[in-house]
Amino acid sequence: MQLTDKNIVVGVSGGIAAYKSADLIRRLKEQGANVRVVMSEGGKAFITPLTLQAVSGNPVSDSLLDPEAEAGMGHIELAKWADLILIAPASADIIARLNAGMANDLLTTICLATAAPIAIAPAMNQQMWHTQVTQNNVDSLQSRGYLVWGPGQGEQACGDVGFGRMLEPTELCSYCVNYFAGANKPGELDGQTWVITAGPTREPMDPVRYISNHSSGKMGFAIALAAQLAGAKVYLIAGPVKLATPTGVERIDVETALQMQEQSMAHAEHADVFVACAAVADYRVAEVASQKIKKSTEQLQLVLEKNPDIVAGVAALENAPFTVGFAAETENVEEYALGKLKKKNLQMICANNVSAPGHGFNSDTNALTIFWSGGSLVLPLTSKQELARQLVGQIAKKFNQSPLDAS
């Protein structure tokens, strides 16, 4: 019983996955949660309120303007009652309405009126999920602190295959348990300063060209948000990425490795924790041409110069923060990660196999194995947001155990 006395509002919006909501509610109740269900009009087309009333053991709410329901537990009371709102399934429509701040039905109104965390479990056709407007809406909700659990991938009700399946009820129940058990509750990092690097760097060749890599910055941005939500003052040193700044995070935009180094060193001096999530270019062009390089010879030779190792520089500071590196590898992941932990003198290194499907660059999901001197922990494949929450919890745990010597 890991959810004893937790009050969870389960929002059910319109989608075929709504048939799984009944099972989800049962699982939450098995863990001891009190569940109240709020349905959208679309949700009721897929599963009846009577079914969800029976499994939740409470009346189901579906109308903002029903005097009887409002006299029972009104929308503001429900919004205050919740320790967590979980919308499962969350359709593209409700995601868009939440992002726009609409309050045109009971579920969206409760979401606006609550101080509780809100998690969405997206469920929709894979094309609807991938379409730019949905992705923008989800990014925007994430940057405002919404938790996004899923979607999973696989075969869909419409016959398509891809991302868009609602996570299974058992998985969603685990997310809830993890959420409440998480070390990084709001306030956990109060008074701490975290500096996080994210995204690629861009090394110019001439005024119009550069050398870079495929890093999307999503993992670093997710870590910044998770640390901020847990109470830290967060500086996010970001290479060129197209991501919204997480609410409450101070973002410093840079382009090159040298700029990232300058900002990192300046901010790390006063930091408690430094997380180097950026994919820094190992080399820069030695002499950047002042004019566009013209196409003439069959071969063009560029002389590259090694960039400074930013994270190693931070770890070598006299007053070094608790320093965490990343190791994106395609083979011998553990061996290379442990080598970097030692060589760069880090307190922790997060290794991921970027060649595995769903891991790393540009993906919305990732898995990590984190190593520290004398121990390791596997954080299995999940959304980058959830992974960031777990990672921040682990860093906080190690940092709090022994801030000066985490080994």
Indicate which residues carry an active-site annotation: 158
Closest distance between ligand C5P and the C-beta of residue 325, in Å? 3
Q: What angle do CA 257, 136, 356 make, to 5 degrees?
A: 60
Those residues whose C-beta lies under 8 Å from the C-beta of residue 81, and which sit 6 or more positions away, are: 7, 9, 36, 73
Cα–Cα distance measured from residue 263 to residue 252, given in angstroms and rounded to the nearest whole number: 8
Tell me which amino acid residue 36 is.
Answer: R
Closest distance between ligand C5P and the C-beta of residue 340, in Å? 5
Closest distance between ligand C5P and the C-beta of residue 337, in Å? 9
Pattern of binders to ligand C5P over 331-350, x per CB under 6 A?
---------x----------
Pattern of binders to ligand C5P over 178-197, x per CB under 6 A?
-------------------x
Q: Give whichever of 91 and 263 is closer to ligand C5P, judged by the CB atom.
A: 263
Among 88, 320, 327, 396, binds ligand C5P (CB under 6 A): 327
Among 276, 368, 387, 406, binds ligand C5P (CB under 6 A): 276
Closest distance between ligand C5P and the C-beta of residue 310, in Å? 3
3-state SS track over 37-86: EEECHHHHHHCCHHHHHHHHCCCCECCCCCHHHHHHCCHHHHHHHCCEEE
Asked if 28 interacts with ligand C5P (CB under 6 A), we say no
* Token code pair at residue 315: 């770890």
Specify whether the CB–CB gap between 109 and 82 falls below 8 A: no
Among 28, 52, 124, 278, binds ligand C5P (CB under 6 A): 278
Q: Give whichever of 123 and 260 is closer to ligand C5P, judged by the CB atom.
A: 260
Asked if 372 interacts with ligand C5P (CB under 6 A), we say no
Among 87, 119, 311, 354, binds ligand C5P (CB under 6 A): 311
Instruction: For residue 218, count other CB atoms closer than 10 A to its CB.
Output: 26
Pattern of binders to ligand C5P over 234-263, x per CB under 6 A?
-----------------------x------
Cα–Cα distance measured from residue 79 to residue 60, given in angstroms and rounded to the nearest whole number: 14
Closest distance between ligand C5P and the C-beta of residue 59, in Å? 51
SS3 content of the chain, % helix, strand, coil (to 5): 35, 25, 40
Cα–Cα distance measured from residue 362 to residue 328, given in angstroms and rounded to the nearest whole number: 13
Q: 102 vs 64, 97, 110, 195, CA distance in Å?
A: 13, 5, 11, 35
> Which residues here bind ligand C5P, judged by CB under 6 A?
197, 257, 276, 278, 280, 307, 309-311, 325-327, 340
